[in-house]
Amino acid sequence: MADIAFLLLIFFLVSTTMDVDTGIYKKLPPIPEDQTNDEEVKVKKRNVLAILVNRNDELLVNGELLDISQLREKTKEFILNPNNSEDLPEKQVKTIPYFGDVMVSKGLVSLQNDRGTSYEMYIRVQDELAIAARELKDEKAMSKWGKVYSELDDEQQEAVKKYVPMAISEAEPKNVGGKR
């Protein structure tokens, strides 16, 4: 009897996990110190991927109505600009350890949502952007070292991060699509 009890005890000990909190980690931008400096940084239109989410959870990406499932590809294409097309972001030459002189995108993702957007949609957009960033990094890491990004050491990760920058700026929300 005691043996069975021990067996059960050990089984529960092994199988129990403390519930770990998981989530999407973000850093908020600090509030600018002097309020007078509210000139907006001028960025060329082609360098911005403007994502708008309205109160009906619909996506407008650079003036084009998109489904959430297309966002990932769109973002990747935006950052990579494989054909050097005119309306996708410019690139500039940067020297990055391990990679040498490479063309780095100057693209910036701008995300704006309505106060009536649902939290679920917001998380899905954030998630898609995060997946896009991870896949881009994985691609670069794969072609250079034959490993995925998360298996690289810190210095290599740093280099890859510089190669495919993923800057997301979140604008103050406004009431897009009608008053409440």
Partner 1 sequence: MSKFRKEGGKELPEISTASLPDIVFMLLFFFMVSTTMRDVELNVSYVQPQAKELTKLEKKDLVSNIHVGVPLRKYQKTFGTESRIQLNDQFATVDDIQSFIASEREARKEELRNKLTTSLKVDRYTKMGIIVDIKQELRKASALKLNYSALQGADEK
**How would DSSP label each residue in 146-164?**
SS-GGGS-HHHHHHHHHHS
Alpha-carbon separation of residue 108 from 63, 99, 120, 160 (angstroms):
16, 22, 23, 17
Q: Which stretch, 5-13, 58-66, 103-111, 137-145, contacts partner 1 (CB under 8 A)? A: 5-13
Residue 5 CA: distances (Å) to CA of 1, 13, 164: 6, 12, 55
Q: Please, what is the minimum distance in Å from the beta carbon of residue 59 to partner 1?
A: 14
- Residue from 178, 176, 169 nearest 108 by CA: 169
Does position 119 interact with partner 1 (CB under 8 A)? The reply is: yes
Q: Does 12 bind partner 1 (CB under 8 A)?
A: yes
Q: Are 161 and 169 in contact (CB under 8 A)?
A: no
Query: Contact with partner 1 (CB under 8 A): which of 14, 15, 28, 83?
Result: 28
Site string for partner 1, 130-159 (x = CB under 8 A): xx--x-------------------------
Contact status: 31 vs partner 1 (CB under 8 A): yes
Q: What angle do CA 173, 174, 180 make, to 5 degrees?
A: 125
Does the protein bind partner 1 through residue 35 (CB under 8 A)?
no
Site for partner 1, residues 71 to 90, rule: CB under 8 A: none
Kindly list the residues in this chain that would bind partner 1 in the complex (CB under 8 A): 1-2, 5, 8-9, 12, 18, 20-31, 113-120, 122-124, 126-127, 130-131, 134, 172-173
